[in-house]
Amino acid sequence: MSNKYVYFFGPDHTDGDGSMRPLLGGKGANLAEMAKIGLPVPAGFTITTEVCTYFYANGQQYPQELKAQVEEAMRGIEKVMGKKLGDTQELPLLVSCRSGARDSMPGMMDTVLNIGLNDKTVKVLAEKSGDERFAWDCYRRFVQMYGRVVLDMKPKCKTDHCPFEDLLDAKKKKAGVEVDSELKAEYLKELVVEFKAAVKAQTGKDFPDDPMEQVWGGVGAVFSSWMNDRAIVYRRMNGIPHDWGTAVNVQAMVFGNMGETCATGVAFTRDGATGAKGIVGDYLFNAQGEDVVAGIRMPHRIEYTMAEELPHVWEEFSNVAMILENHYKDIQDVEFTIENDKLWMLQTRNAKRTGFAHVRSAVDMVNEGLITPERAISRIPANDLTQLLQPVFSGEGLKGRTPIAKGINAGPGAATGQIYFQPDDAEAVWQKNNNAKIILVRHETTPEDLRGMKVSSGILTSSGGAASHAALVGRQMGKAVVCGCDSVKINYKNETVSAAGKEYKKGDWISIDGFTGNVYEGEVPTAPSEVLQVLFEKSLHPKDAPIYQCFQQLMSWSDRYRKLAVRANADTPYEAEQAIALGAQGIGLTRTEHMFFNHIEEFRAMILADNVEDRQKALEPLLKYQQRDFEGVFRAMNGRPVTIRLLDPPLHEFVPHEAKEQEALAKKLGVTKEKVAQRVKDLAEFNPMLGHRGCRLGIVYPEITRMQATAICRAAVNVMKDGIDCHPEIMVPLPGCAAEFKHQEGVIREAAAKVFLEEGITPDYMVGTMIELPRACVTADKIAENAEFFSFGTNDLTQTGLGISRDDYGTYINEYQELDIFAADPFQTLDQEGVGELMKIAVEKGKKTRPDIKLGICGEHGGDPASVKFCHKIGLNYVSCSPLRLPVARLAAAQAAIADKQ
């Protein structure tokens, strides 16, 4: 039997159904499904995506069987519609030819309407419809569209003119009218002649008159449009594989432009922006599909006027919309045409929507009994939840603005503020005015910039990627972050930044959108997040917060299903409280170095000490500060486990690099400036990321580890004395081999034993390690002999596994993604094939030695949905991420657990 490449749909018989998206594309499958459930769909057929694949694999040829199958299906349409293609006696059949990929790619591919018109059929159409203007309007649209799409007469660049638009404009001028719809038949006839002449002049060929040749032209153009540039870019952005291919739908035309009892429109069964119940949409009388979106005439709003203007159609249309929503159990985005008061449905698909609309509609539909909580959880893109937490740029505020630059969208949120380049300046401005809005603009940030980052609304860096310091610290602080934006040129000396050919000075206003990576000139207005107002700021009552209510319901369902625990990366009591409000069950990573920056002078004294005794002495005040900080975090977490990581970054990050600052420090410490300069020189490294950092610091300076372990244990004992439960987990950073861990473990346990003996209280504590080097993964069985838990530091594991510097990859990552070498940024979404395999080895080996070993992740991937799902799959116990990513992690973890059951 020959292959079936063509699937028919119509009132009498339909070959496909809604489940056949891979083969028929979304549009074809849904047209089949609508026809099957008895909705008014003009008959047509779908040429499968397999033909698209064949077309590209065989030098743009079709399979042999296709011709006969298409011709047979065309006869089927003629039979059902009672019209013939190319009929020169009776009303002729006209068809449309549209693309339809498995996942909808709105507007990315091509469409041809009114196929079947020529100099003869147009006359019959005019006569039988009794509307000469209508017939010639269809014809001129057809020649124009066919010319653009099939004969490739599109303008090739922005300065190119479209020959058809030029002719149309000239005609309007000649006729003395403003809009196309005012052009009388005689002018439209002239236009068709002129359009065809333009085709001949540009292509050297006559415009095709044969309707079947026109159909094949349309089919070929749609298949070819699968590989146009915008379609390729759209697929890349949305993770749609290039080899899926598109289907082609050929369907009988119905006419919304045949007079005042005709109309065409688009509608959502619920609001795609807010998710609110009720149909919303636009329609236009006497118009064809593209007119509604073209914005030439102002459309009517369905929800306001349709019931009055078209009462019968409204009744049927609202009923069809309800049937479709109940059938698909999701918001539908539909296209329809009204031909002489008769409603025809041309398309339905699950509507694209905002995160707000996703959450509200899914929760409402569960409460309406339409879907189960499992289905609601499974269909919301987890990342969309961040929209509910961040201040946002409203659509209104962005109107008429074009981005001046685009970087990596590293920290979700929208921020607007005045440019400051120096963290000190930012801090000084903020100290004068706590309401100051600041965007910190840096080449990159370092821990030294922390204070400046803290007071900024947003951070823009010209280098560094999604796991750079600016990104992960900024995100953890809940700041909007755009990083790796290498098209902005920063001049610290002049305090200027240039973008898109314009220079901006310190104090000028810019706005950054951490959702998209876009940077805008000036002040774009933002709106605060309702969820945080209720949960964290407590400035809003839940009953006055409908978005919060939906959010909370979704979160409570998610918590019921998920198997993974969620923890937060948090360094301060403030962040810990925020984390608890957003559902954290513990802290998975406290980066203790951030605490040192609050006591930088004492720490610098320690670094400058020549001998152990001096170093020990310099560490004494730090012990007190650290103990106090840890107590704050333990109290805030109120018995939940807290993982504290020992000092990780290289010491050179803590010392001043400018001569002036070195002199000031020397003065303060009573040493010579040469000594300070020498020490800074000694600490310099070619590759600090692979340098004297992580446990290597604690091994060479065990007194630092001892001080930190003592501070943690004393803090734990103190809070327990106040009746607060406490479960510290002390974590060693960056070991590559068991001996390194064992060394540090020895120092920690000895310090802990001493504290517990002195205090007479022994908390339930653990000593474990980060796993962030490939060698640690492959020797995890040995490390697990002493380590009680593993926490995957996937920022470093990605860096060392791929050999890509986490701070410098911004310059080529875009290119890599453009070339499809990386499907995603590996610092944002875990490279499962490589880094993920290393993790699997570590899990397996770790469990072999210690079956009950606690396993978590605290790299930035802990808040990325695809990575969370991977962590579920390989059997981790928890994921840890920035507080504002927690809802995303909770939802993604629930999705993973539900997917297991299905």
CB atoms within 10 A of CB 377: 25
Q: What is the DSSP string of 788-845?
A: SEEEE-HHHHHHHHHT--TTTTHHHHHHHHHTTS-SS-TTTS--IIIIIHHHHHHHHH
Q: Does 795 bind ligand PEP (CB under 6 A)?
A: yes
Min dist. Cβ of residue 706 to ligand PEP (A) = 21
**Minimum CB distance to Mg ion smaller for 740 or for 772:** 772
Between strands 408-411 and 480-483, the pairing is antiparallel
Q: Does 444 bind ligand PEP (CB under 6 A)?
A: no
Cα–Cα nearest to 483, from 784, 811, 6, 794: 811
Q: Total binding residues for Mg ion by CB under 5 A?
A: 3
For 847, counting Cβ atoms within 10 Å of its Cβ (0-12 exposed, 13-18 middle, 19+ buried), the class is middle
CB atoms within 10 A of CB 85: 22
Selecting among 713, 858, 871, 881, the annotated active-site residue is 858
Residues in contact with Mg ion, shown as a per-residue x/- string from 778 to 797 under the rule CB under 5 A:
---------------x--x-
Please identify which residue in 794, 800, 882, 895 interacts with ligand PEP, judged by CB under 6 A. 794
CB atoms within 10 A of CB 26: 22
Min dist. Cβ of residue 591 to ligand PEP (A) = 5
Min dist. Cβ of residue 806 to ligand PEP (A) = 8
**Minimum CB distance to Mg ion smaller for 137 or for 860:** 860
Q: Which two tokens stand for residue 450?
A: 């922390």
Cα–Cα nearest to 577, from 638, 533, 625: 638
Cα–Cα nearest to 531, from 576, 478, 573: 478
Rounded distance, CA 562 to CA 890, Å? 7
Min dist. Cβ of residue 861 to ligand PEP (A) = 8
Please identify which residue in 641, 793, 801, 856 interacts with ligand PEP, judged by CB under 6 A. 793
Please identify which residue in 591, 782, 869, 872 interacts with ligand PEP, judged by CB under 6 A. 591
Cα–Cα nearest to 790, from 588, 494, 629: 588
Instruction: From the list ligand PEP, Mg ion, none, pick the one residue 859 interacts with, judged by a Cβ distance below 5 to 8 Å according to partner type.
Output: ligand PEP
Tell me whether residue 872 is one of the annotated catalytic residues: no
Helix 132-149 vs helix 163-175: crossing angle, to nearest 10: 150
**Residue type present at position 502:** K
Q: What is the DSSP string of 269-289?
A: EE-TTT--EEEEEEEEET--H
Q: Does 796 bind ligand PEP (CB under 6 A)?
A: yes
Q: Is residue 841 within 8 Å of 777, Cβ to Cβ?
A: yes
Q: What are phi and psi of 12, to 5 degrees?
A: -85, -45
Instruction: From the list ligand PEP, Mg ion, none, pick the one residue 831 interacts with, judged by a Cβ distance below 5 to 8 Å according to partner type.
Output: none
User: By CB under 5 A, what part of segment 72-131 binds Mg ion?
Assistant: none
Min dist. Cβ of residue 687 to ligand PEP (A) = 14
Min dist. Cβ of residue 799 to Mg ion (A) = 8
Cα–Cα nearest to 584, from 856, 793, 902: 856
**Minimum CB distance to ligand PEP smaller for 496 or for 832:** 832
**Minimum CB distance to ligand PEP smaller for 162 or for 841:** 841
Q: Is residue 565 within 8 Å of 586, Cβ to Cβ?
A: yes
**Minimum CB distance to ligand PEP smaller for 442 or for 469:** 469
Span from 40-48, 487-495, 711-719, 787-795 in contact with ligand PEP (CB under 6 A): 787-795
Please identify which residue in 222, 287, 334, 858 interacts with ligand PEP, judged by CB under 6 A. 858
Q: Side-chain half-sphere of 350: how many Cα atoms within 13 Å?
A: 18
Residues found in the chain? 902
Coil, helix or strand at residue 861: helix
Rounded distance, CA 869 to CA 892, Å? 6
Rounded distance, CA 892 to CA 562, Å? 8
Min dist. Cβ of residue 873 to Mg ion (A) = 23
Coil, helix or strand at residue 174: helix
**Minimum CB distance to ligand PEP smaller for 698 or for 859:** 859
Selecting among 52, 97, 138, 469, the annotated active-site residue is 469
Please identify which residue in 648, 653, 703, 825 interacts with ligand PEP, judged by CB under 6 A. 648
Instruction: From the list ligand PEP, Mg ion, none, pick the one residue 858 interacts with, judged by a Cβ distance below 5 to 8 Å according to partner type.
Output: ligand PEP
**Minimum CB distance to ligand PEP smaller for 387 or for 798:** 798
Span from 438-446, 704-712, 794-802, 839-847 in contact with ligand PEP (CB under 6 A): 794-802
CA angle 90, 91, 95 (to 5 degrees): 130
CA 349 distance to own-chain centroid:
21
**Minimum CB distance to Mg ion smaller for 570 or for 716:** 570
Min dist. Cβ of residue 225 to ligand PEP (A) = 42
Min dist. Cβ of residue 793 to Mg ion (A) = 4
CA angle 373, 375, 378 (to 5 degrees): 110
For 249, counting Cβ atoms within 10 Å of its Cβ (0-12 exposed, 13-18 middle, 19+ buried), the class is buried
CA 152 distance to own-chain centroid:
33
Rounded distance, CA 529 to CA 412, Å? 12
Min dist. Cβ of residue 689 to ligand PEP (A) = 9
**Contacts of 483 by beta carbon, 8 Å cutoff, 6+ apart:** 407, 408, 410, 444, 459, 460, 461, 463, 464, 465, 466, 468, 470, 471, 810
Span from 259-267, 518-526, 711-719, 790-798 in contact with ligand PEP (CB under 6 A): 790-798
User: By CB under 6 A, what part of segment 469-528 binds ligand PEP?
Assistant: 472
Span from 61-69, 283-291, 675-683, 789-797 in contact with ligand PEP (CB under 6 A): 789-797
Helix 738-759 vs helix 702-721: crossing angle, to nearest 10: 40
Min dist. Cβ of residue 461 to ligand PEP (A) = 16
Q: Which residues pair with 460 in a beta bridge?
A: 441, 482
**Minimum CB distance to ligand PEP smaller for 325 or for 772:** 772
Instruction: From the list ligand PEP, Mg ion, none, pick the one residue 591 interacts with, judged by a Cβ distance below 5 to 8 Å according to partner type.
Output: ligand PEP
Residues in contact with ligand PEP, shown as a per-residue x/- string from 24 to 43 under the rule CB under 6 A:
--------------------
CA 593 distance to own-chain centroid:
31
**Minimum CB distance to ligand PEP smaller for 132 or for 860:** 860
Q: Total binding residues for ligand PEP by CB under 6 A?
A: 11
**Minimum CB distance to ligand PEP smaller for 125 or for 787:** 787
Residues in contact with ligand PEP, shown as a per-residue x/- string from 347 to 376 under the rule CB under 6 A:
------------------------------
Please identify which residue in 87, 271, 772, 807 interacts with ligand PEP, judged by CB under 6 A. 772
- For CA atoms 138, 139, 143, 144, the dihedral sign is negative
Q: Which two tokens stand for residue 96?
A: 């449309």
Tell me whether residue 97 is one of the annotated catalytic residues: no
User: By CB under 5 A, what part of segment 744-773 binds Mg ion?
Assistant: 772
**Minimum CB distance to Mg ion smaller for 180 or for 772:** 772
Please identify which residue in 25, 245, 275, 859 interacts with ligand PEP, judged by CB under 6 A. 859
Min dist. Cβ of residue 731 to ligand PEP (A) = 10
Min dist. Cβ of residue 792 to ligand PEP (A) = 7
**Minimum CB distance to Mg ion smaller for 641 or for 793:** 793
Coil, helix or strand at residue 237: helix
Residue numbers annotated as active site: 469, 858
Enumerate binding residues for ligand PEP (CB under 6 A).
472, 589, 591, 648, 772, 793-796, 858-859
Enumerate binding residues for Mg ion (CB under 5 A).
772, 793, 796
